[in-house]
Amino acid sequence: MCGIAGVVSSQPVSDRLFRGIKNLEYRGYDSCGVAYLNSSGIVVRKNIGYVDSVNVTERLCEIEGHVGIAHTRWATHGRVTKANSHPHMSCNGDFAVVHNGIISNYRGLRDELRMQGHEFASDTDSEVLAHLVEEYYRVTEDVEKAFTEALGRVEGSYAFALISTHEPGKIFCARCKSPLVMGIGNKSNYLGSDFITFLSYTRKVIFLDDGEYAVICGDDYYTKKIESGELVDKPITEISWDPETSKKNGYPHYMLKEIHEQPNAMVSAMGLDNQGVVELARMILDADQCFLVGVGTTYYVSLIGQYLFSIHADHFIPAVSSDEFTNLAKPTNNSLAIFVSQSGETYDTLNALRFIKEAGGSSAAIVNVMGSSLARMADHTIMQGSGPEICVVSTKAATSQMIILLQAALELAHLTGKLSRGEKGEIERAMSEIPGRINSVINDNSEFIRGLANKYSHIKNWLWLGRGLYYPLALESALKMKEVTYLHAEGMSGGFLKHGTLSLIDEDMYTVVLVPPKEEEDLYQLTMSSVEEIKARGGFVIGIGFDHDEDLFDEIILLPKVSRFLAPFLPLVPAQLFAYFVALSLDREIDKPKSLAKSVTVP
């Protein structure tokens, strides 16, 4: 969701700035643009569309300049138009700004500035800042002072980057509830919404915190508090991710690459320092009240965690979607919220974290991106180590989070005496089989699943069903389907089917059922009764399960046999593949689905 890139250097920056916004494409966007400072002043080029197509029409790389800022926009205020694309200029052309977030009081500021003679070229909230800085500069004749005065007037969430003809060798930037990271290079310094923006050029990063701003030059920088102007000594973090891991490596799409990377991501999750998981289990045991919190895919992962803690540790930890956490939860000073996040920058999740902190409660996080806001703000953080996930649609991050939640549930069961050390060790040894079995699912079933996808991609309505732990898996499978194919897909509990949804079953509604192994006798029989109900009404059913002898299904994707405790980790992978191949058949924009963003950083 909206991306910022910036470079200040002793050498021309156009190639690096262009690469920066290319690296931000995974966040989701509808337009893009650049602003350079050179002897001609500020040069802005922008338009609607993806970076490569805008480069063809606007020649983004053909501008000289040693200072530049760039942006990929995901529309919030104002339609998707060239005028609403970033960067935005001040009236006199001396200031250009890019912005992520939402300025909640922009209407009042815009009316005030219009009264002072300012004319606006867009419908966005973001343009206000360029005019506000221009207005304060008339009084202060100091760009930094004008910038901070303007920030003091702005309400809402933001990451800003600003350049000015009055300070041609600098980028001014600030953060409030929207991520912003500086990269420290050799005679070049960088700015980005995350470190992937500039990871090819430097691994040394500084994470800005809320209420801070920075002034960046080619060979220097400093950071200050917005409110007081006090200098802040920020630590430099060395990023361990290899830039090569964020490339496609011959795969046609990042989504397919990341589906194939799941076995290795799970091995990494299993190989994490166990002390982090032990500490999480102890925090759960010590708390009077616990919550699992995520949104979108991570909410469904949290629901899976709810079942894992209940099944393995006899401990009920409700899952709450982070966008509703403040409306629903009543935390106390002995509450614990466990936040699950891929990016660590999702607005609703960070808002929920602030909410429990205000109540005096504790927080833990399972997160993929080191140095992210969630990773730094939580009381206890487990870095899952899945590596970069570039596709907007989450796959490998989710399955790694499931592994960590299972480990925590087993540790809690051991602490409470439900599992002996030997029993816990036996399940953990069995867990080591999961990556290999998932590898088999991918290698043995991909072509068959592709055939099914091509055969049934014309179907516009899909129902995904599961019981027990397979219910949140069905929800996540349906989400993958709708995210990447743009088809209607609905996940639900098999038991819910007869309470209304059966009325939808006809030749136009296809159903996919996630079937547990027969060893789960009660769960298996209940699931198969749902299949019977659909078939009795002429419905078409695809099964994803472990047994060969099911003649009720019109099609079946067979999974390798595993322990009943580990079986739920397998069905999600064929569901991901099915969604991918249906999207491929329909010629969808797979890695960057329309209207979606990787990290939703606005309310």
Q: b/e for 12-39, b at 16 or more Cβ within 10 A? A: bbbebbbbbbbbbbbbbbbbbbbbbbee
Q: How far is CA 305 from the centre of its chain?
A: 19
H or E stretch at 375: helix 373-377
How far, in Å, CA of 110 to CA of 236, rounded?
38
Average pLDDT over residues 207-217: 96
Residue 387, pLDDT score: 87
Average pLDDT over residues 394-422: 96
Average pLDDT over residues 15-35: 87
Residue 245, pLDDT score: 64
> How far, in Å, are 11, 44, 105, 333, 472 from residue 475 at the CA level?
50, 44, 37, 32, 5
CATH number among 3.40.1390.10, 3.20.20.80, 1.10.150.120, 3.60.20.10, domain 3-239: 3.60.20.10
Longest dimension (CA), the chain: 81
Residue 220: how many CB atoms within 10 A of its CB? 12
Residue 1, pLDDT score: 62
Angle between helices 434-456 and 262-270 (to 10 degrees): 150
Residue 24, pLDDT score: 84
Average pLDDT over residues 245-259: 85
Q: Given this chain, do its domains 246-432 and 444-603 carry the same CATH topology?
A: yes
Q: Who's near 266: CB < 8 A, 6+ residues apart?
A: 399, 400, 403, 434, 435, 438
Banded model confidence at residue 145, pLDDT cuts 50, 70, 90: very high
Residue 393, pLDDT score: 93
Q: How far is CA 190 from the centre of its chain?
A: 22
Residue 599, pLDDT score: 63
pLDDT tens sequence across 5-14: 999 999 999 9
- Reduced to 3 states (helix: H, G, I; strand: E, B; else coil), residue 286 is helix
Average pLDDT over residues 99-122: 94
Banded model confidence at residue 552, pLDDT cuts 50, 70, 90: confident
**Residue 275 has what DSSP assignment?**
H
Question: Residue 259 corresponds to which tokens in the numbers above?
Answer: 């589906």
Check if the beta carbon of residue 463 is closer than 8 Å to that of residue 494: no
Q: Who's near 77: CB < 8 A, 6+ residues apart?
A: 84, 102, 106, 123, 124, 125, 126
Length of the chain: 603
How far, in Å, CA of 295 to CA of 325, rounded?
10
β strands within 250-341, DSSP E: 289-294, 319-321, 335-341
Banded model confidence at residue 62, pLDDT cuts 50, 70, 90: confident
CA-wise closest residue to 162 among 72, 95, 261: 95
Which positions are annotated as active-site residues? 2, 598
Q: Who's near 32: CB < 8 A, 6+ residues apart?
A: 21, 46, 47, 49, 50, 51, 54, 70, 71, 72, 73, 85, 86
Tell me: pLDDT of 265 over 80.
Answer: yes
Q: Greater confidence, 289 or 194? A: 289
How far, in Å, CA of 203 to CA of 411, rounded?
35
Percentage with pLDDT > 90 across the chain: 81
DSSP letters of 233-268?
A: -PPPEE----GGGGS-TT-S-HHHHHHHTHHHHHHH
How far, in Å, CA of 147 to CA of 133, rounded?
5
Give the number of C-alpha atoms closer than 13 A to the C-alpha of residue 325, restricted to the C-beta side: 31
**What are the residue ranges spanned by the domains of the chain?**
3-239, 246-432, 444-603
What class is the 246-432 domain? alpha beta
Q: Assess if CATH 3.40.50.10490 describes domain 444-603.
A: yes
Question: Residue 521 corresponds to which tokens in the numbers above?
Answer: 């006798």
How far, in Å, CA of 345 to CA of 367, rounded?
10
Phi, psi angle pair for 581, to nearest 5°: -70, -30
Percentage with pLDDT > 70 across the chain: 97
With the C-alpha atoms ordered 304, 572, 471, 460, is the resulting torsion angle positive or negative? positive
Banded model confidence at residue 601, pLDDT cuts 50, 70, 90: low
Average pLDDT over residues 374-384: 95
Q: What angle (nearest 5°) sits at the alpha carbon of residue 22, between those of residues 17 and 27?
A: 120
Banded model confidence at residue 563, pLDDT cuts 50, 70, 90: confident
For 163, left (φ over 0), alpha (ψ -120 to 50), or beta?
Answer: beta
Average pLDDT over residues 245-270: 89
Residue 454: how many CB atoms within 10 A of its CB? 13
Residue 176, pLDDT score: 93
> How far, in Å, are 11, 64, 255 from residue 37 at the CA level?
13, 8, 37
Residue 597, pLDDT score: 67
As beta bridge partners, residue 192 has 5, 181
> How far, in Å, are 407, 450, 491, 585, 587 from residue 581 at the CA level?
32, 5, 19, 6, 10
For 319, left (φ over 0), alpha (ψ -120 to 50), or beta?
Answer: beta
Residue 423, pLDDT score: 92
